[in-house]
Chain A
């Protein structure tokens, strides 16, 4: 089946880069195109997986940065 929207538009949609009007158009198409909806779901799950990779720095690193900011203010 030929998809009714290009993949690039879906990418922009899942990353909230489309204007509201265009978002609504995409959502309208998604409701009538199961294959496109499945592709969109794939993208959203990929986003979720990539979110899981996110890491936090050590607390001490943040403290050093904040201390530097306070010191910089004094010296400025």
Chain B
């Protein structure tokens, strides 16, 4: 029922008209993507939380000072801010290369399926943790495209423009990012969960073609 949800553009207009609740919806809608983008770059939860605050504070300043470009889309814009802040932070060395994977509250937060038993949850989280680690191992250019496209909601053309390459290069980098992830998941089979395989097939194919 996405069509019943107010667009980002409508929420921004309401926010600028003084409706703080509109900004709360924007934040709710985009915080996960922005936070994941940041966390996968800086690899430290506390730093990522701080940078997420910085990201949205920067957005608040831009919006309320009337400098926001209505022609752009909010999601890619907020992702670019998050990405740039995370890269700056990473380059300054303000990170500890560690992501806590044992905090039960955070672990429950990351799960999308709540009905699984404890063993399923742990197995799923272990696989997700491993995938996070494998994303870190990707070449920088491939990781950049993967984060911008998948978590930042930027189109391949927007990524190409932002990174100064052609759209074909951006698409090629995404392709190799996925190929490399697949190779790494297969190689690191000790972490491989047959219920969570990256590249199993049939059910999804039917679903997508039918949609």
Q: Give me the interface of B with A, judged by CB distance under 8 Å.
A: 18, 20, 23-24, 27-28, 31-33, 35-36, 39-40, 48-49, 52-53, 56-57, 60-61, 64, 106, 109-110, 112, 124, 127-128, 131-132, 135, 146, 149-151, 155-157, 168, 171-172, 174-175, 178, 181-182, 196-202, 204-205, 207-209
Contact = CB atoms under 8 A, between A and B. Distances in A.
Sorted nearest first, the 9 A-B pairs with minimum C-beta distance are A41-B205, A8-B171, A57-B35, A44-B204, A56-B109, A41-B201, A65-B56, A49-B198, A42-B199
A45 B198 contact: yes
Contacts of A40: 205, 208-209
A45 B33 CA distance: 19
Interface string A3-25: 00001100110110100000000
Given A57-B35, A66-B23, A41 B156 contact: no
A54 B110 contact: yes
Q: Interface SS of chain A: helix, strand, loop or mixed?
A: helix
Contacts of B146: 50
B182 A61 contact: no
Given A41-B205, A61-B49, A56 B32 contact: yes
A43 to B, nearest CB: 7
Contacts, number: 133
A53 interface: yes
A69 B31 contact: no
B31 A62 contact: yes
Given A51-B112, A61-B52, A76-B64, A42 B201 contact: yes
Interface of A: 7-8, 11-12, 14-15, 17, 27, 30-31, 37-38, 40-58, 61-62, 64-66, 68-70, 72-73, 76
A45 B200 contact: yes
Given A45-B199, A61-B49, A65-B53, A30 B209 contact: yes
A34 to B, nearest CB: 9
Most B-side CB within 10 Å, residue of A15, A27, A45, A52: A52
Contact of A7 (B127, B175, B197, B205): B175
B27 A65 contact: yes
